[in-house]
Amino acid sequence: MTDIVKLSRILLGLATAAGALLCTSGGRTVAAEPPLNNFCRTSAPSAERIAAVSGEAPGALLLRQRCTVCHSLDRVLVREVDGPEKWARTLKKMRAYGAPLNDEETGVLQAFLAGLPSKPAAAKDFTRAGHFRRGLVWTANEVGRSISGLDVQLGKEVCTISGFANPHNITLSTEGARVFVTDTGTEEVLVFGTDDGHLIGRFKAGKNPMHVFVTPNEDRLLITNANSNEVTVHDYGTFEVLARLPVGDMPHGLTITPDSRWCYASGQLADDVTILDLNLLKVKGHIKVGRAPVAPAADGRNRFVAVAALRDGQVVKIDAVTQKVVGRVKVDGLPGQVAVSPDGYYIFSGNQVTNTLTVIDAKTMKILKVLEVGRWAHGLGFAVNGRSLLITNEEDSTVSVVDLHDLEITKTIPTGLGPNGIAAAYPLILTPHW
């Protein structure tokens, strides 16, 4: 991406509480066009918070100059409850992603961010609205602090649950009866029934829970905890912790093989993927994959696992039998999540700053197609009938629907603000034979 393109993204940055738009870039303040960016439309950050980051304090200048290269400041502004420890970890991760900061500047910025005025993170209770039912696709709307239930056929949001702090990732149980949400603001995992959206349970896992997954046999829940460097294994029914397994520094995503035997979890600062044996509840080993790996994804037949190394801009393939890296391909634009079509033919990579979805032939590791999607293309999941792939466009607050047969985009569905994770069908359903 050219600097000009990057800059134009940055100009769509900040909103005032009154809703008038003032977006900042590299220390300059400019009036933005009408709200093209949904992030700009959010009234989430308070006027005090916006005033503080717009000021001349050294931390504010660093923030505006160094933290708007890849994404808008809204991503920072919505982190209302993060304290110094959490900011230290986030800054470490952003440096690993390529944010230009030395140690001294990091200290200044950390203190500034932790001292920003904030407001209470989340409502005490969750509120439900709309028509709930099974078979919907769910998004975790990090900015809107809600989750959306989408009807893909109708092409619209049909229900919503609000009252989260920063809902990050979301997953469905194998049968689709429950939806699980990680809230990185309150560091809780929330469990809802999909039939009517009622809260079934809430519990703590480790520090800063990121991604959550159900084993295909619906026995256990697995959660990556970015700030305690562990995958916690929970009983599916009681949520009780069965094991805390150490994984590479700053774990983010995880995947479980269809036989429920192995878990692969990425360590963003360790540049590795840790393999966990779920029968023995032990670490099997670590594989170096490349810099800042985000979220691995298994195929539907226990053959391989794919993961994107964000800092290297590569999608990497790991053989599930030899547990070795067997292929890699360059993709542009800070790749985040990947998905493997359940038949194992395709690997899809969401590329966040080029707003594209790359379709890779999993066998040859060659790029077959690059589709234009929305801004900050991030979360990936498959629709219940296995015929389409869905991707969240975080900065457009939409989901693009990709037909898996024609590899074309068929619709774009509006969601709550800033959809990050997406839960469609349980990921291991088999793609139909065409």
Binding region for ligand HEC (CB under 6 A): 66-67, 69-71, 75-76, 79, 90-91, 93-94, 97-99, 101, 109, 252, 294, 334, 336, 352
Rounded to a whole number of angstroms, the minimum distance from the CB of residue 64 to ligand HEC is 10
Rounded to a whole number of angstroms, the minimum distance from the CB of residue 98 to ligand HEC is 4
Rounded to a whole number of angstroms, the minimum distance from the CB of residue 99 to ligand HEC is 4
Question: Which CB sits closer to ligand HEC, 50 or 67?
Answer: 67
Rounded to a whole number of angstroms, the minimum distance from the CB of residue 62 to ligand HEC is 7
Rounded to a whole number of angstroms, the minimum distance from the CB of residue 150 to ligand HEC is 20
233 touches 243 (CB < 8 A): yes
Rounded to a whole number of angstroms, the minimum distance from the CB of residue 334 to ligand HEC is 5
Question: Which CB sits closer to ligand HEC, 337 or 431?
Answer: 337
Rounded to a whole number of angstroms, the minimum distance from the CB of residue 294 to ligand HEC is 6
Rounded to a whole number of angstroms, the minimum distance from the CB of residue 53 to ligand HEC is 10
SS (H, E, C) the chain: CCHHHHHHHHCCCCECCCCCECEEECCEEECCCCCCCHHHHCCCCCHHHHHHHHCCCHHHHHHHHHCCCCCCCHHHHCCCCCCHHHHHHHHHHHHHHCCCCCHHHHHHHHHHHHCCCCCCCCCCCCEEEECCCCCCEEEEECCCCEEEEEECCCCEEEEEEECCCCEEEEEECCCCCEEEEEECCCCEEEEEECCCCCEEEEECCCCCEEEEEECCCCCEEEEEECCCCEEEEEECCCCCEEEEEECCCCEEEEEECCCCCEEEEEECCCCEEEEEECCCCEEEEEEECCCCECECEECCCCCEEEEEECCCCEEEEEECCCCCEEEEEECCCCEEEEEECCCCCEEEEEECCCCEEEEEECCCCEEEEEEECCCCEEEEEECCCCCEEEEEECCCCEEEEEECCCCEEEEEEECCCCEEEEECCCCCCCCCCC
Question: Which CB sits closer to ligand HEC, 132 or 180?
Answer: 180
Question: Which CB sits closer to ligand HEC, 68 or 341?
Answer: 68
Integer Cα distance of 109 and 36 in angstroms: 29
Question: Which CB sits closer to ligand HEC, 71 or 178?
Answer: 71
Question: Which CB sits closer to ligand HEC, 250 or 276?
Answer: 250
Rounded to a whole number of angstroms, the minimum distance from the CB of residue 94 to ligand HEC is 4
* Cβ-proximal residue to ligand HEC, closest one: 67
Question: Which CB sits closer to ligand HEC, 62 or 233?
Answer: 62
| Burial per residue of 39-77, b for 16 or more beta-carbon CB atoms within 10 angstroms, e otherwise | bbbbebbbeebbebbbeeeebbbbbbbbbbbbbbbbbbb
Q: Which residues, 6+ apart, have CB-to-CB distance to 153 below 8 Å?
A: none
Question: Which CB sits closer to ligand HEC, 101 or 278?
Answer: 101
Rounded to a whole number of angstroms, the minimum distance from the CB of residue 21 to ligand HEC is 21
Let me know the angle formed at the C-alpha of 426 by 367 and 305, rounded to the nearest 5 degrees. Answer: 40
Question: Which CB sits closer to ligand HEC, 226 or 383?
Answer: 226
Rounded to a whole number of angstroms, the minimum distance from the CB of residue 345 to ligand HEC is 26
Question: Which CB sits closer to ligand HEC, 51 or 326?
Answer: 51
Q: Considering only CA atoms, which of 118, 114, 72, 70 is closest in space to residue 94?
A: 70
Per DSSP, what are the bridge partners of residue 263? 256, 276
Question: Which CB sits closer to ligand HEC, 36 or 99?
Answer: 99
